[in-house]
Structure 1
Amino acid sequence: MSKTDWRRICFDLLADDRRDARIGHRLLSTLIIISVFACAAAIMLVTVPGLDARTVFWCDRLREATDILFTAEYLLRIWIAPAYAHSGRVGATTMRRRYMSSFLGVVDLLVILPFWLNLVVPFPRDLFLATEMFTLFKLARYTPGLPLVAAVLRREARGLTAALGAAGVLLVVASCIMYMLEHDAQPEVFGSIPKALWWGIVTVGSVGYGDMIPITPLGKIFNGVIILIGVGTIAIPAGLLASGFAEEIKRREFMVTWRAVASLPLFHNLDASSIAEIASLLKPQVVPSGTAIVRRDERAEAMFFIMAGEVEVEILPKPVVLGSGQHFGEIALLRRTDRTATVSAITDCRLLALEVTDFQRLLQVHPTIKEHIDRLAAERLEQRKTAEGLSPPAV
């Protein structure tokens, strides 16, 4: 095989965010995750006092084996980096430089760097083991939630900076005042403002270790006030993060829905703003296989777009199977009748539901969609009429 073929094989094994990931990719990812935890466990185990030499020996060998594995992975990722280019205008050197300077590329380097530097310039063992714990950061590649955290921190950076700045000012001012109130009564405990800063940290943070407590009446009153203010100070960044997570999750769900709507043939000719408007009306649903989505004779309250999976429309003489990109339920909404057929999920399905009120509003705003649905509904009705030899039912 050529070098290009080998690079494609390695790319299939290592490439991130592959929706069509093969079993080799999943197995290698599992091996790396297990190796990360095994390396961390070995590092922690060798610090146990009185551990026998044989166990320490095998822990060190395990750690070295994982470092060699991570080194091979890093070098292969550099080699396959050009395969990520979407056009020929980006050179191989540029793509490799992008990977090496990316967050995950830097993490991959920091994981293996202590091992190889220690071979050249030996570190103190405790320092070496501590730097080896960088291995845990490799989990960032396999933990989907971490990019979400990073996105929230970037989004709320201004508010968090302001909140932390206010907390810092409060900490310094409170520590100075407590020093003035308690220094004469406790010269050993509150001997300086830097010493009082420790009291400020544990008090503003609502930790309260109890190693530095005021004994004067004014000091106790001031201490109580700072505790109450500290609770509010901690609540501000917590609230910012909570709202940031909610907004980011909502935004990501909307983007997933937007892409799903844009991929539907019915909406191919709409612009981005119209697709965004429609996406805001659709409600995602996950339906397990074997579940009846709509039942015969029940009231029609929505139409459905199939994003993934297959459904079966139970009509005579032969049931009809619909798949990804198709829709059903529009005929009953157009004719304002009850369902006259049951639609069940053949496989696990991801659907987008458009409720009847939103359906009517959508047809009013977008006449072209109404024309398309009317035409498709007429075709389906004619097909059923021909197949059944009687007045066609509305799904």
Structure 2
Amino acid sequence: MRDEQPGYLRARHYFYEILESQAQSSRAGVIVNRFIVFFIVLSVGVTVMESVPELRNGYGRLFAALELLCLVVFSIEYYIRIWIAPEHLPYRHMSPLRAAWAYMISPQGVVDCISVMPLWIALFGPDDLRVLIILRMLRLLKFARYSSGMRSLLEVLESERRALLACLVILACATLVSATAMHIVEGHVQPEKFGTIPDAMWWAIVTLSTIGYGDVVPATGVGRLIAAATIICGLIMIALPVGIVANAFSEVIHRRDFIVNWSMVARVPLFSHLTAGDIAHIMQLLQARQIDRGEVVFRRGEPATAMYFIAEGEIEIELGPEDKGRRIRLGTGHFFGEIAVLNRVERSATVKAVSRTRLLVLDGADLRALIAREPSIARKINEIVEGRTGRNLNLEIADLEGQADVTVEESA
């Protein structure tokens, strides 16, 4: 079959690296990403300008040509993403058809599908300009794939969904209570505004979500007291979700200099044998750090608090006098700093960046807990380091019930 031809698979992996890895070291990936972002902006800009009658009458044909060009670009991108779906780590155990379907029903796949729907609606569907305008504006959602800020925000909303849901429940309760109270107090005075609880709920929602109470003013003294209490509750209701999201967003931004994604973690050989669920768990533990050329990661003699994985770039390890000051260079996919962390000793080498480098940082406590959860990682560390240095580090797990206690016979 064609899928089994090595050249076909190499081509599919190549396009996956360009479209999905988002590696800044890949010039082709950077160019393609910027190219797609340009067409997203162009498409939305054309949609906005077409709403102006003077511009639509004067440049209608140009706008139509630009929209067709955008649709062609988005269609090609969509079909390529369907083709490369089996390269995604969560879909690698699936058949090509199942992987393609899994991508198509994923949130990003749905957004990509929406981006090309105006073409098919225009060709085969009803000529409803309003539907086309809405679908074309939804292309803005594609920015989530290319914007680290938007991806961080989505990550925050996902992690804080329970707290935000609790805020929504509290808001619903406050809306019902204030609407019921105003219906009882003001219903006979302003029946057209507060005659029913559903009518009063509109006033309650506006009052809780804004400063003041909109275009409906209470007529009774008790109604004004209820309105004042509702306004105060509204200030609290606004502050709660804003505070939750702002605090979590700030933590994510300060913790990570860039977004940790599936392909970044999957590129690390130490994690290549893990399941998609394990990878998802590790992604939550990893912090991201970006360092410039010549910048020191850590120095010899410093306390060891974390191990590092090289997502992109290259580092140089300067060993101590006991190793005659040898220098070792490691590139993308390698890791370092694990032995001192597991032995709970000071660093025995100085590490600096040879080029602009992206590092994934795993805290020492998280590393020991991860080994306790997945003992095969200890064996994998031993194999990789032995292949790198020729030394058998003999990593052993002494206690898997709580926090793993790992001993290392030699430190590096």
What are the Cα deviations for residues 44-101 of structure 1, in whole angstroms up to 9, with x where unaligned?
1011133252322211221121112212222233333345479996322222222222
2:135 counterpart of 1:97: no
Once structures 1 and 2 are overlaid, which stretch shifts more, 63-72 or 77-86?
A: 77-86
> What SS class does the counterpart of residue 327 from structure 2 fall into?
strand
Contact 1:14–1:25 (CA under 8 A) maintained in structure 2 = no
Tell me what 1:13 maps to. Answer: 15
Any conservation in 2 of the 1:203–1:227 contact (CA below 8 Å)?
yes
CA contact (8 A) 2:46 2:66 kept: yes
Aligned position for 1:120: 124
Instruction: Give the aligned partner of residue 115 of structure 2.
Output: 111
Give the corresponding residue for 1:134. Answer: 138
Moved more, 8-17 or 47-56: 8-17
- Provide the C-alpha distance between the structure 2 equivalents of 1:351 and 1:133, rounded to a whole number of angstroms: 35
Alignment gaps of 5+ in structure 1? 265-271, 356-364, 377-395
Identity %: 26
What amino acid does structure 1 have at the position aligned with 2:201?
L
Q: Read off the aligned partner of 1:202 and give its amino acid letter.
A: V
Distance change in 2, residues 1:11/1:30 (3 Å): farther
Q: Which amino acid in 2 is paired with 1:220?
A: R
User: Hey, what does 2:381 align to over in structure 1?
Assistant: none
**Separation (CA, whole Å) in 2 of partners of 1:231 and 1:93:** 51
* Contact 2:187 2:195 survives alignment (8 Å): yes
Q: Quote how far apart the aligned CAs of 1:307 are.
A: 4.6
Tell me if the contact between 2:118 and 2:136 (Cα under 8 Å) persists in the aligned partners: yes
Q: Which residue of 1 aligns with 2:396?
A: none
Match of 1:371 in 2: 409
Asked if the contact 1:302/1:354 (under 8 Å) is kept, the reply is no
Q: What's the counterpart of residue 310 of structure 1?
A: 315
CA contact (8 A) 1:148 1:248 kept: yes
Match of 1:200 in 2: 204
Contact 2:175 2:205 (C-alpha < 8 Å) held by counterparts: yes
Aligned to 2:394: none
- Opposite residue 322 of structure 1, the aligned amino acid is I
Matched, 1:31 2:35: yes
Of 181-190 and 198-207, deviating more is: 181-190
Tell me, yes or no, if structure 1 residue 321 matches structure 2 residue 327: yes
Which amino acid is 2:102 matched to?
A: R
Once the two structures are superposed, the pairs formed by residues 180-199 of structure 1 within 5 Å of their partners are 180-187=184-191, 189-190=193-194, 192-199=196-203
Unpaired runs of at least 5, structure 2: 272-277, 365-398
Match of 2:369 in 1: none
SS in 2 for 1:133: helix
Q: 1:245 to 1:47 in 2, by over 3 A?
A: same
**CA offsets 1:355-374 (integer angstroms, 9 cap, x no match):** 9xxxxxxxxx999746312x
CA contact (8 A) 2:203 2:214 kept: no
CA separation in 2, counterparts of 1:47 and 1:11? 41
Match of 2:234 in 1: 230
Rounded Cα–Cα distance in structure 2 between residues aligned with 1:71 and 1:260: 28
Q: Which has the larger radius of gyration?
A: 1
Aligned partners of 1:306 and 1:323 also within 8 Å: no
* Alignment size in residue pairs: 349
For residues 193-218 of structure 1, the C-alpha deviation after alignment (integer angstroms, 9 at most, x for no partner) is 44332221111113436311223221
Distance in 2 of aligned mates of 1:42 and 1:74: 21
Counterpart in 2 of 1:80?
84
Question: RMSD over aligned Cα, in angstroms?
Answer: 5.1
Tell me the distance in 1 between the aligned counterparts of 2:118 and 2:319. 64
TM-score normalised to the size of structure 2?
0.64
Distance in 2 between the 1:101 and 1:353 partners? 32
Deviation, structure 1 residue 174:
1.0
